[in-house]
A = this chain, B = another copy of it.
Amino acid sequence: MKEQKGFSKQGFMNTLGATLESICRGKCEIILSYDSKLTQQHGLFHGGVIAAIADNSAGFAAYSLMEENYQPLSIEFKINFLSTAKGEKLKAKAEVLNAGKRIFHVRSDVFLLNEDQEQLVASALATIKATRTVSEL
């Protein structure tokens, strides 16, 4: 699967301990577990970690809809942090809102998972571009 292959090549996702939980047409979920290497000054998940999986899940959700030989590149994203994030795991759930020929608009919500509860802790909107080669951006 091209998505799993691409994901496993991302050194940064490995650094975060993030895994591609699920992917299907236009949707993607990424999960990671709490680790002290992912924290801000109070020992909570760092906003940069939350943003990274929000952005990345958006990219892969778009990737799942791209033609062969095209790859996702983030043009931009925006994220609102609804609350601080203290817990065991984070799950980013992305869904493509609109798929153009080359431009994809994607919503990505990030949830904190504690035992069986999910709490929405961040919401993002991203614009992803399908690019044939990296230099094409």
The residues of A with any CB-CB pair to B shorter than 8 Å are: 6-7, 9-16, 35-44, 46-49, 51-53, 55-56, 59, 71, 73-84, 97-98, 100-103, 105, 107, 120, 123-125, 127, 129, 134-137
Q: How far is the CA of A97 from the CA of B39 in the complex (A)?
A: 24
Would B56 and A37 count as touching, CB distance under 8 A? no
Interface majority SS (helix, strand, loop, mixed), chain A: mixed
Would B44 and A55 count as touching, CB distance under 8 A? no
Q: How far is the CB of A21 from chain B (nearest CB, A)?
A: 17
Would A78 and B75 count as touching, CB distance under 8 A? no
Q: How far is the CA of A84 from the CA of B107 in the complex (A)?
A: 19
Known: A10-B39, A51-B51, A78-B78. A125 touches B127 (CB 8 A): no
